Amino acid sequence: MTVAARWRQGMRRARAWLVPPALVLMYHRIAAPERDPWQLAVTPAHFAEHLDVIRRHGTPMPVRALTAGLARGRVPRRAIVVTIDDGYADNLHQARPLLARRDVPATVFVAAGYLDRPAGFWWDELEGRILAPAGLPPRLRMHVRGTSHDLETSGDRQQLFLHLYGLLRPLADAERRRALDDLTAGGHESVDVTARPLDRDELRALQGDGLVEIGAHTVTHPQLSALPVPEQQAEIRQSRALLSEVTGREVVSFAYPYGGRGDYTADTVRLVAEAGFTSACTTVAGAVRRSTSRLELPRLHVPDCDGDGLARRLAHWAG
């Protein structure tokens, strides 16, 4: 490489870092649940304040538009993307009216296999069995991959919940389902009826006039890095096909379940690209710059804070 070529390359890299970054914000539930062990819910009142801050201080856009801007090398100043993961029904009933009122677009990543699923998301089912106010039997037993786990329940329930969650998280859906069915909590399960997934009609209503972009979040929300490549491919491809069929629109944005660096692999990224997705979001914290890979977009978890709290975070993240 010549000196001039190295200089031009250096200038391109410098410009990529000098341009103000885009911020991709990550939400899950817009609700005020009785129990929230992972602190992922944001109340509708706070979400409304967040949208006011975003509208006032940024240029809101969905993931699809951000990806197109990155491809062209032209991303608006102070671009802010609102994303919501998993596909809870409150995304339609609580979040969408607030988004529409303030004309803030968003991308909702839906785990396609949970549409119309009465049992809801597996982690909420586990939460209802372990953290519900009703008493637990003295011991619980669960079989995972040939090993029987005999667990005392007299200690800290939160620790018990986290232990069981850790056992279940890397399993494929059918294996996890068997383990959950094997777990008996003495008939004291307490299901949060508000923590249900979208059904198909609600998904179409959520998409509505296009204010909300629907993205894929696999079929069963597995830890992709724990699955063989063929199973990863099926989860990725089938989620896109199913959501495109239900919505009648092409689905081009993806989010890795759990989304940390250990939750997907280089093979996963390749499979996402081969499936026809133009972008993929992680949960790795950071801002998006021109040099950021469109298949590993970082995101920023937003806690249940008020509008002033979000404004301070935006200033810090953009700095």
3-state SS of the chain is: CCHHHHHHHHHHHHHHHHCCCEEEEEECEECCCCCCCCCCEECHHHHHHHHHHHHHHCEECCHHHHHHHHHHCCCCCCEEEEEEEECECHHHHHHHHHHHHHCCCEEEEECHHHCCCCCCCHHHHHHHHHCCCCCCCCEEEEEECCEEEEEECCCCHHHHHHHHHHHHCCCCHHHHHHHHHHCCCCCCCCCCCCCCECCHHHHHHHHCCCCEEEEECCCCCCCHHHCCHHHHHHHHHHHHHHHHHHHCCCCCEEECCCCCCCCCCHHHHHHHHHCCCCEEECCCCCCECCCCCCCCECCEECCCCCHHHHHHHHHHHHC
134 near 240, Cβ under 8 Å? no
pLDDT at 177: 92
**Could you give the CA distance from residue 202 to residue 120 in angstroms, rounded to a whole number?**
15
Strand 139-144 versus strand 147-152 pairing type: antiparallel
Q: How far apart are the first and last CA of the chain?
A: 33
Mind listing the pLDDT tens digit for each residue in 151-184?
A: 888 889 999 999 999 999 999 999 999 999 888 6
What pLDDT does residue 119 have?
80
Q: What are the structural domains, with CATH classification, of the chain? A: 21-116+195-318 (3.20.20.370), 122-182 (no CATH)
Closest among 124, 149, 127 to 136, alpha carbons compared? 127
Position 187 scores a pLDDT of 46
Compute the residue count for the chain: 319
The pLDDT value given to residue 3: 58
pTM: 0.91
199 burial type by CB count under 10 A (0-12 exposed, 13-18 middle, 19+ buried): middle
Which residue positions in the chain have pLDDT lower than 70? 1, 3-20, 133, 184-191
CB neighbourhood size of 34 (10 A): 11
Dist. CA 123–CA 266, nearest whole Å: 27
